[in-house]
Structure 1
Amino acid sequence: MDKKIRIAAVGDNCIDYYDITGEAFPGGNPVNVAVYIKRMNGDSSYTGVVGTDDYGKFMIESLNNKGVDTSHIKILEGKTAVTHVEINNGDRILGDYEEGVMADFKLTKEDIDFLCSHDLVVTGIWGMIEDELYKIKERDVNIAFDFADKHNHEITYKALPYVDYAFFSCDNKSDAELHGFMKFIKSKGPSVVVVTRGEKGSIAYDGNEFTKFGIIECEVIDSMGAGDSYIAGFLMGILERKPIVECMRKGALSSSETIGYYGAW
């Protein structure tokens, strides 16, 4: 029997609170990726911090219900992070962010040992671990990083030398502009650079060629988690040793499933 793919997600989590409906959903980039990996029959863990409030319990219980390993979630006195959300024609609009105990998140040596026991580690721009990435990289564990739309951020430049799979989002640049940007990012260290472009699909660059892939047509209910589910599908493809275009297809399929319902998962 083949060994299951194991991906460690680490960094930020938050409760996505929909102001108009009063609904609350667990979320955050690494959290979402961990759940989507399980949805694709991989194994995943989430390492992070929640508060002592009801939202903290809700986050851990929700992840446990999805089969995600929560053994390295710390509980700190205080409030779990909350992002306020509105929906406008299927697009999610992010409002105020209450950081709560995420402000105090730090990795321990035990956490790093745990992360390095996986096939790949995934985090993101607000994951609070950019200063620790070198400790993972020096142990020959691949790192995926979601830079979102932060193309020129201080954290972006700090993280890039240690990242193997760099993900960005951008839907307002031409192909030529994106090609130049992706070549520049590639020169900073990553093996593969991927840009997701909303309804325009995605572009990947591995240093040799640019590969484009469209979207899987579907009804858009809520775009929350679309990019995270693409990343999860792409990374599953990478660890299954599929060609880049097949990784992109897996990402698009995963994304099309997520945007068909409210909340990230």
Structure 2
Amino acid sequence: MKVLGIGDNVVDKYIHIKTMYPGGNALNFSAFAKKRGVEAAFLGTFGSDKEAKYVESVLNELQIDISRCRYYSGENGCARVTLEEGERIFLGSNEGGVTRDNLMKLTDEDKSYISKFSIIHTGLYSHTAHLLSDIKELGVPLSFDFSDDFDNKQIESYIPYTDFAFFSCSHISDADTHKFLHTHFKNKGQILIATRGSERAIAYDGTEFCYQDPKYVIAKDTMGAGDSFITAFLLNYLKSKDISLSMGEAASFAANSCLVEGSFGFGMAYE
């Protein structure tokens, strides 16, 4: 199995401790997959600042393939963060930096490279929506994270291209989440999953709903919990084709990720 995250890489700067950590939905997917022993690659855009060089060095240390990444002069993606009783609170960002300012275009070489992976993961903050149709044509299963910042227009535009779609739905009720998933299901074989914070996660495959209660821990840092859930679910589902089993594995992995500072560690002090 080989997996690929396409899109965002950022540094999450924890202002209360002056420490920054690597992150970003697409990058986290690749890092968590590597942590679970799977060959992983990341395709994204790096800036020219010290933050970019720091993230690149972490990916090299993890032996994640970044051979197809782009490099531009300017700010790497960066977010400002603090913690309140283990819950990460975003305070602002540069909205992707060079990733936003230099939208990726796929070359024939990129497409040949991408076609060799078992699954591709990207998301709403990855600035990759314009690539979804091209990626879908390659025949590789596509996962998309809509996070909690989605709107109906985005869902209707992007979800037809996805095989797996994830939503953060802690802001809506259990009953409304059922309705939401049923309404937005589009294609046979598609799986939609709503994570709901401290409430049960709900998956829908067009026929049945499946449920998973969270595994409770005293969280050190919830940053990356959703990405770790997504990663563990996808890796398990690709092997088992069992939604219930995969959701259980995902909940356990997500709980353990809440015991780590940053999305997956590798903190570095900054001035």
Judge which range, 144-153 or 201-210, deviates more: 144-153
1:239 maps to which residue? 238
Task: Tell me which of 98, 101, 104 is aligned to 1:101.
Answer: 98
Q: Deviations over 1:63-111 (max 9, x none)?
A: 1112211112211111111100011111111111113211213132222
The verdict on how the C-alpha distance between 1:84 and 1:105 changes in structure 2, with shifts beyond 3 A counting, is: same
Secondary structure of the residue aligned to 2:223 is coil
Deviation, structure 1 residue 219: 2.0
Equivalent residues in 2 for 1:36-115 (5 A)? 36-98=32-94, 99-103=96-100, 104-109=102-107, 110-115=109-114
Q: Deviations over 1:167-200 (max 9, x none)?
A: 0011132222111100111136770000001111
Q: Displacement of 1:13 after TM fit?
A: 1.1
- What code does the residue aligned with 1:30 have? A
Q: Give runs of aligned pairs for residues 1-265 of structure 1, distance below 5 A.
A: 5-98=1-94, 99-103=96-100, 104-109=102-107, 110-187=109-186, 191-265=190-264
* Shift in CA distance, 239/188, structure 1 to aligned 2, threshold 3 Å: closer
Shift of residue 39, structure 1, vs aligned partner? 1.0
Amino acid at match of 2:200: G
Is the CA contact (8 Å cut-off) linking 1:11 and 1:48 kept in structure 2? yes
* Structure-2 separation of matches of 1:126 and 1:188: 23
> Whole-Å Cα distance in 1 between the matches of residues 20 and 156 of structure 2?
33
The amino acid of 1:145's aligned partner reads F
CA shift, 1:251, in A, is 0.9
CA contact (8 A) 2:228 2:250 kept: yes
Name whichever of 74-83 and 110-119 sits farther off: 110-119
Q: Alpha carbons of 1:217 and 1:171: their partners in 2 closer, same or farther (altered >3 Å)? A: same
Q: Secondary structure at the match of 2:5?
A: strand
Scaled by the length of structure 2, the TM-score of the pair is 0.92
Contact 2:159 2:186 in 1 (8 A): no
Matched residue type, 1:152: D
Write out per-residue CA displacement over residues 20-66 of structure 1, whole angstroms, 9 at most, x where no aligned residue: 11100010001001010011111111000111111111111101112
Please, which runs of 5 or more residues in structure 1 have no aligned partner? none
Distance apart, 1:153 and its partner CA: 4.8
User: Do the aligned partners of 1:125 and 1:156 also contact (CA within 8 Å) in 2?
Assistant: no
CA, structure 1 residues 100+139, in 2 after alignment: closer, same or farther (shift >3 Å)?
closer
Aligned partner of residue 198 in structure 2, secondary structure: helix
| Identity between Structure 1 and Structure 2 (%) | 30
The runs of 5 or more residues in structure 2 that have no matched partner are: 265-271
Task: Give the letter aligned to residue 77 of structure 2.
Answer: A
Contact in 2 for aligned 1:38/1:68 (Cα 8 Å): yes
Bigger shift: residues 179-188 or 223-232: 179-188
Q: What amino acid sits opposite 1:198 in the alignment?
A: G
> Is 2:182–2:206's contact at 8 Å kept on the other side of the alignment?
yes
Q: CA deviation at 1:237?
A: 1.0
> Alpha-carbon deviation of 1:211?
0.6
Aligned residues: 261
- Partners of 2:68 and 2:138 in 1: how far apart? 20
The higher relative CO (CA closer than 8 Å, separation ≥ 6) is in 2
SS of aligned partner of 2:126: coil
